[in-house]
Amino acid sequence: MAGANLRKKQEFVGAVHDRFKTVRAAVVSHYAGTTVGEMTTLREKLREEGIELKVLKNTLAKIAIKDTELEVLTDHFSGPTAVAYTDEHPVSLAKALYEFAKKNKNFQIQAGVLRGQLLEKTQVEELANTPSREVLLGRLVGSLQNPISGFVYVNSGILRKAVYALDAIRRDKESKEG
């Protein structure tokens, strides 16, 4: 019976390790005092963003992150620990956890990792305050549009002055003829 339990743990850790190999960003948080309802709400929000959340025993988590980009988080696995991770949405991950932590004082962000680089709590919060992709693209379009708009405005001013000059010449000729 004990061998079956050990085999199940090894299979579980192996599956989690395989999943963690592809993870691009992760955040480790302590959730002591957070209710089941609050955690369920968080899981639902994260799922909508394409983010996964796992609550793991620290010893199993340390084994699962070995030889992955998440290995830099090893020292942060103590106490009741949850790991949220994503392959594609690091800013969304940080934003969702940061917003949740602001509303739920028992949920504490400990550290994060982005492409193998350890992020301290403050760096995770800075990442959370990064504007969304859509906002950044909007700003880029606006900054690309400004020079073009200025060019059009300047050229329309030149044309406007040419029209005024031609109109003045026309009125001058009319007054001389009339």
d(CA 126, CA 71): 22
Task: Give the pLDDT score at 37.
Answer: 93
Pair 123, 140 in one domain: no
Task: Name which residue leads in pLDDT, 134 or 77.
Answer: 77
Is 132 a residue whose pLDDT tops 80?
Answer: no
CATH of the domain at 64: 3.30.70.1730
Task: Give the pLDDT score at 175.
Answer: 85
Task: Give the pLDDT score at 42.
Answer: 93
The domain of 81 spans 2-130
Is 152 a residue whose pLDDT tops 90?
Answer: no
- Tens digits of residue pLDDT in 27-56: 999 999 999 999 999 999 999 989 999 998
Please report which confidence band the pLDDT of residue 130 belongs to, taking 50, 70 and 90 as the band edges.
confident
d(CA 106, CA 3): 37
Pair 125, 144 in one domain: no
Pair 124, 138 in one domain: no
Pair 147, 119 in one domain: no
Pair 97, 174 in one domain: no
Task: Give the pLDDT score at 178.
Answer: 63
H or E segment at 8? helix 2-20
Pair 76, 142 in one domain: no
Residues whose CB is less than 8 angstroms from the CB of residue 151 and which lie 6 or more positions away in sequence, other chains included: none
Is 62 a residue whose pLDDT tops 60?
Answer: yes
Q: Which residues pair with 84 in a beta bridge?
A: 27, 53
Pair 101, 159 in one domain: no
The domain total for the chain is 2
pTM of the model: 0.71
Angle between helices 36-48 and 90-103 (to 10 degrees): 160
Structure tokens belonging to residue 26: 């992760």
- Tens digits of residue pLDDT in 1-24: 567 888 888 888 898 889 999 998
Q: Which residues pair with 81 in a beta bridge?
A: 30
Q: What is the mean pLDDT of residues 60-77?
A: 91
Task: Give the pLDDT score at 2.
Answer: 63
Pair 20, 101 in one domain: yes
Question: What whole-number percentage of the chain has pLDDT above 70?
Answer: 98
Dihedral, 77, 56, 93, 40 alpha carbons, nearest 10:
-130
d(CA 25, CA 84): 8
d(CA 103, CA 100): 5
Average of per-residue pLDDT values in the chain: 87
Pair 112, 154 in one domain: no
H or E segment at 135? helix 133-177
Pair 138, 104 in one domain: no
Pair 124, 70 in one domain: yes
Pair 105, 166 in one domain: no
Is 136 a residue whose pLDDT tops 90?
Answer: no
